[in-house]
Amino acid sequence: MATETEAGLTGHVRSVTVTTITALGGVAAGLLSAFLAESATDQIGLAILLAALLANLGLMRVVGVDVANFGAKDHLYNAFMTFSLWYVTWGVLLTSGVSF
């Protein structure tokens, strides 16, 4: 196809893939934080978030997204989306009193 990039993903498919991976990574980090952390002040939650950020980049490489060409904007997008969904997921689980 004429619109394919070197990795084989079109611009739209690449965008949807990156958004999906970062969103699901943030939700997974929030769930894992709720499962492993004892309270909101437990530092393990932040460590899980940082691990999710790195895991997102690795997963994107596996799927075929060329992360070597990521600029500051792309890395900030990954960090913002992952952080936002981690924060919301963990916050909802903390305030609702869910225990695993």
HSE on the CB side for 75, CA within 13 Å? 8
- Global pTM value: 0.86
Other beta carbons within 10 angstroms of residue 66's beta carbon come to: 14
CA 23 to chain centre: 5
Q: How many domains, the chain?
A: 1
pLDDT tens digits for 12-65?
998 999 999 999 999 999 999 999 998 889 999 999 999 999 999 999 999 999
CA 56 to chain centre: 5
Asked whether residue 40 is domain-assigned, the answer is yes
Range of the domain at 61: 30-95
Asked whether residue 19 is domain-assigned, the answer is no
Asked whether residue 16 is domain-assigned, the answer is no
Asked whether residue 42 is domain-assigned, the answer is yes
